[in-house]
A and B are shown apart, each in its own frame.
Chain A
Amino acid sequence: MIKFLLMVNKQGQTRLSKYYEQVELGKRAALEADVVRGCLARRKEECSFVEYKDYKLVYRQYAALLIVVGVTENENELSIYELVHNFVEVLDKYFSRVSELDIMFNLDKVHIILDEMILNGHIVETNKNRILAPLLALDKMTES
């Protein structure tokens, strides 16, 4: 099961956080800082899976943006690793070349996309068109 997903930039600023398990606000900041520090400190040739407390972290870096997923022991690491990529591809498709700014300015939309892909810590949808469908419907309504 997926416990949380974070998008953080290299300076350690959180750009998106989604928790699938109640974590107190006060503890979130500490957890995020801890997780990000751990991942950023790793070199390129080191593996993308890190054990962290009771979780396993799967992380992937895109330019200055780091995506970290905290999962339980029994989760398939490679499938999560590719889930992250799929997520980024969906963002890329929607924002046509996604950047950190897109995520900051469109937090609500990124949340919608994420909610279509992962619900309650489980993968619900992986098909890009279907993931984007509700958001596109929403955009159409806004335009009209």
Chain B
Amino acid sequence: MPAVSKGDGMRGLAVFISDIRNCKSKEAEIKRINKELANIRSKFKGDKALDGYSKKKYVCKLLFIFLLGHDIDFGHMEAVNLLSSNKYTEKQIGYLFISVLVNSNSELIRLINNAIKNDLSSRNPTFMCLALHCIANVGSREMAEAFAGEIPRILVAGDTMDSVKQSAALCLLRLYKTSPDLVLMGEWTSRVVHLLNDQHMGVVTAAISLITCLSQKNPDEFKTCVSLAVSRLSRIVSSASTDLQDYTYYFVPAPWLSCKLLRLLQCYPPPEDGAVKGRLVECLETILNKAQEPPKSKKVQHSNAKNAILFEAISLIIHYDSEPNLLVRACNQLGQFLQHRETNLRYLALESMCTLASSEFSHEAVKTHIETVINALKTERDVSVRQRAADLLYAMCDRSNSKQIVAEMLSYLETADYSIREEMVLKVAVLAEKYAVDYSWYVDTILNLIRIAGDYVSEEVWYRVIQIVINRDDVQGYAAKTVFEALQAPACHENMVKVGGYILGEFGNLIAGDPRSSPLVQFNLLHSKFHLCSVPTRALLLSAYIKFINLFPETKSTIQEVLRSDSQIRNSDVELQQRAVEYLKLSSIASTDVLATVLEEMPPFPERESSILAKLKKKKGPGAVSVNELEEGKREGGELNGGGERGDSSAIAGSNASTPSPSADLLGLRTGPPVTAAAPSAGSLLVDVFSEAGVNDDGFLRDLEPPTESSDSLLAEGPGDSDSAPPSVVSEDPATPLPESNELLNKFVCKNNGVLFENQLLQIGIKSEYRQNLGRMYLFYGNKTSVQFITFTTTVTCPGELQSQLNVQSKTVEPLIEGGAQVQQVINIECLTDFSEAPLLNIKFRYGGALQNLTLKLPVTINKFFQPTEMASHDFFQRWKQLSLPQQEAQKIFKANHAMDTEVLKAKLLGLGMALLENVDPNPENFVCAGVIQTKAQQVGSLLRLEPNAQAQMYRLTVRSSKDTVSKRLCELLAEQF
């Protein structure tokens, strides 16, 4: 091998790379690169014609710069010129540049195609290979149009060199993938299949990729490849092949080729021809036998290459699923790997065994490894291996071992990695239901799930346990007893409270005979959790209470008293307030008969597929449920499966329905669009924003987090220190806002924090947070000078009708701000109904004797009170149609003010506060969003659609809301954002 000098003579290139390496900072690097780019640009533009060598050098530099992540927007023409050079080195670098940098929609394609055409007809194999590589790399439609006829001819021509055939095969594959309509099957197809017989192993290796792809699309036309592949494989595996050339890798004959052959065979069912099949089975047996032989080399490369073939062979055996003998042998082999010291092998064995478990022939054999797999789940140090172990346990579970597996998975959950908990929970829930023989075990398991991993128990899981308890009367008493006991724990998860509330509300009577769980004890137990729960859970509990009144008349007065208390009947949350008022009224005026009818026990749910299975199915990965399994689940779990949809909506009793289906509650009282109120995601968002804001005051979160016991308390106790300060909101109109204040307002439509205003004296920063119809804003006034501001006062006013729409209260600020100091002001905001104007903030102070007076708009806009609503495409368009009154829609077509970057657009739409819905609009360029505006008076559902037109640099924005003023205002606000 010739010694290669570093930089290979291209000194300029070497110097440049060294310079880059020596750059101490990213800035220095960028500076150096920009200098170089300028240099190259001037060289390319200069009058002096560059020689091939220089062009090559500069193109190499550009390649290097591109690799560092900088876009290269010139040099393409020079590269195209290099293509037509007669010098191989120059031509080569030209093609390299094109392959790496040019994408398929470049305008230069025509010129490139010309050069390719010349090289293809040059009959110089090196040039032909370069041209073919280029097509394989770029693979545009134009290239397909130009060469789709030519390449098959080159591929099968008798006089084509081997290396050219290889390139042509992959080149054709590329064209077939990008433009299948242009690659016409013809007499070449049969000859392509015969490339499997080609003398040259490299040609076979390349051709198989093409044949595999073609067979997947046209299995019948390529059927003959099966017997050819088998005979080729057989020759390699039995080492009968004398023409292995240099394709042996660490004593393993042609490992990559073998893998590809085995994969090609997986496109077809087992061969029908007995002889072919016999030969193939023999091959597979040989591969399995070889795994048992002592290794021919201690090198890991040897065993890896051998095992690569082995795993592919096992895949094929599983794919055929017809040879019990081979399946069991495969299973035993994998069993050995389960305890191998190589993590890679353990990982692959677990993964492969997962598919084996679903075969009826090997299911029992897989089960014998249960202890090893459980051990892996407990002791593996790599989370991805543990994940595979959990998948395998799930796959091997059946009636005989379900109790053991569920118990192991439950105990693993206590320490499981956060990343896999949710999936584990779903799996346990599915297994518990599928293999439940006695339902007390099922109920115990699910309650344990909630106890151990309550945060990861999704709605589907706890809806499901309620559905099943309601549908099976033999478990209801047990469920009531168990849930009652679980609620005794001082700190139990909110999901436990939900299940407890629901079950005791329905079946509390079944355990009321025991004085230890008398009706009042039950009620007190539930109510002791009430104050710690979120709004949806409280709503559910209120429904449980009214059910108690029906079940146990003796609790009536106690419960009525609770409902009557201010914290219920005057709760700031509309839903809770409505329930309290209505339940109270219902309990006092309705006769016992009416009560008994209205509050009757829930009827059984209709039989439907488990919603948990549906959810798990959505999760990807080998452990996910296959279609088979789903059907099996239906069959086996059929007797106990309760309904899905009814449960989904009614079981939640108006709790946080994330689906847009109308969420009827127990009594069907709830009206208005459903809201994702206080969903966990909203919670975590709040924490994020909070930590980012860095406001060092626990009171902020604490006040907002348990949503609004009563709105008064939130608005009254700010974290500010002055507690006797009178609210400084006045109603008279003070001054007109600064001319730029509208612009300043627009800056904050899609964000909550930032600098609101800055001049030479003063800087005003804002941090704000909103929840439901409430908001809190922190204003930071910074004195930028070295001189005191005195008599510093601020007033917030709501001009005109805004007074009745927004309730704004602010603390007074310190009248003195030292030079360089900052003071903080807290403003509490309550949205009473929708609004269009912004509150005004007037600031007055004296600086060096001169009175300063300025008025700004406070960035409180209607979208701040959005709650995002997730919904599926179907629901979106249904709702869209429902909002079809002309005044409900507002539309604007406007020119883009900023670059039309998808990510930026997404970020802005998310900042708006609505849910950005993926896969809803048939056109992926468009954005659709949904959300509900929370005001004290009502909730306003809004849908939005933004259609960018990149060519015209225009947008069309359409907003539909249940209220016309909201549509209009949202449209106005948003039109300024993009």
Contact = CB atoms under 8 A, between A and B. Distances in A.
Interface of B: 1-4, 6-9, 13-14, 17, 21, 60, 63-64, 67-69, 71, 87-89, 92-93, 96, 99-100, 103-104, 126, 129, 133, 136-137, 139, 163, 166-167, 169-171, 173-174, 201-202, 205-206, 209, 245-247, 249, 254-257, 259-260, 263, 301, 304-305, 307-308, 311-312, 343-344, 346-348, 381-382, 384-385, 621
A49 B347 contact: yes
Contacts of A22: 103-104
Interface residues of A, number: 62
A139 B166 CA distance: 22
A123 B260 contact: yes
A124 B304 contact: no
A78 B1 contact: no
Nearest to B245: A127
29 contacts: A14-B68, A46-B382, A47-B344, A47-B346, A78-B308, A78-B311, A85-B301, A86-B249, A96-B4, A102-B4, A102-B6, A105-B7, A105-B14, A107-B64, A109-B8, A112-B92, A119-B133, A119-B137, A120-B174, A123-B256, A123-B260, A124-B202, A125-B206, A126-B254, A127-B247, A130-B246, A138-B88, A138-B89, A139-B2
B136 A120 contact: yes
Contacts of A79: 255-256, 259, 305, 308, 312
A109 B60 CA distance: 11
Interface string A74-96: 10111101110110000001111
A14 B166 contact: no
A134 B7 CA distance: 19
Interface string A11-30: 00011111000100100110
A25 B820 CA distance: 44
A133 to B, nearest CB: 8
B69 A28 contact: yes
Nearest to B104: A22
Contact of A123 (B205, B347, B382): B205
B201 to A, nearest CB: 7
B200 to A, nearest CB: 9
Contacts of A119: 133, 136-137, 166-167, 170-171, 206
A124 B126 contact: no
A91 to B, nearest CB: 11
Residue with the greatest number of chain A CB neighbours at <10 A, chosen from B14, B205, B245: B205
B170 A130 contact: no
A135 to B, nearest CB: 10
A120 B344 contact: no
What are the nearest 5 A-B pairs in CB distance? A78-B308, A122-B209, A46-B382, A79-B308, A119-B170
Contacts of B173: 120, 122
Contacts of A108: 60, 63, 92-93, 96
A96 B136 CA distance: 30
Contacts of A126: 202, 205, 247, 249, 254, 256-257
Contact of A120 (B8, B137, B163, B307): B137
B109 to A, nearest CB: 14
A102 B4 CA distance: 9
A63 interface: no
B246 A129 contact: yes
A95 B4 contact: yes
A110 to B, nearest CB: 10
A16 B67 contact: yes
Contacts of A64: none
B347 A47 contact: yes
Residue with the greatest number of chain B CB neighbours at <10 A, chosen from A14, A86, A126: A126
Nearest to A14: B67
A87 to B, nearest CB: 12
A81 B348 CA distance: 13
A22 to B, nearest CB: 6
A106 B850 CA distance: 69
Given A82-B301, A127-B201, A106 B8 contact: yes
A101 B63 contact: no
B126 A137 contact: yes
A125 B6 contact: no
Which DSSP category, helix, strand, loop or mixed, fits chain A's interface? Answer: helix
A104 B249 contact: no
A49 to B, nearest CB: 6
B256 to A, nearest CB: 5
A53 to B, nearest CB: 10
Contacts of B344: 47-49, 77-78, 81
A100 to B, nearest CB: 10
Contact of B126 (A83, A134, A142): A134
A76 B621 contact: no
Contact of A122 (B64, B103, B206): B206
Contacts of B99: 111, 115
Residue with the greatest number of chain B CB neighbours at <10 A, chosen from A15, A16, A96, A111: A111
Contact of B382 (A45, A128, A130, A138): A45
B166 A128 contact: no
Contacts of A48: 343-344
B264 to A, nearest CB: 12
A62 B88 CA distance: 32
A105 B205 contact: no
Contacts of B166: 119, 124-125
A138 B92 contact: yes
B133 A115 contact: yes
Contacts of A46: 343, 381-382, 384-385
Nearest to B246: A127
Contact of A141 (B88, B246, B255): B88
A45 to B, nearest CB: 6
A45 B680 CA distance: 36
Nearest to B135: A120
B202 A128 contact: no
Nearest to A13: B68
A34 interface: no
Contacts of A14: 67-69
A28 B101 CA distance: 13
Contacts of A45: 343, 381-382
A118 B302 CA distance: 21
Contacts of B347: 47, 49
A137 B17 CA distance: 26
A127 B162 CA distance: 13
Contacts of A76: 259, 263, 308, 311-312
A17 B256 contact: no
Contacts of B202: 124-127, 130
A50 interface: yes
A55 B384 CA distance: 14
Given A49-B384, A126-B249, A134-B129, A105 B17 contact: yes
B1 A96 contact: yes
Contacts of A101: 6
B661 to A, nearest CB: 30
B133 to A, nearest CB: 5
B170 A120 contact: yes
B688 to A, nearest CB: 20
Residue with the greatest number of chain B CB neighbours at <10 A, chosen from A22, A47, A85, A130: A47
Contacts of B14: 105
Contacts of B171: 119-120
A141 B374 CA distance: 62
Given A141-B87, A141-B89, 10 more contacts: A15-B67, A29-B69, A46-B385, A47-B346, A49-B344, A78-B307, A82-B308, A108-B93, A119-B170, A138-B89
Nearest to A74: B263
Contacts of B2: 136, 139
A55 to B, nearest CB: 12
Contacts of B247: 126-127
A50 B60 contact: no
Residue with the greatest number of chain B CB neighbours at <10 A, chosen from A43, A108, A109, A127: A108
B129 A94 contact: no
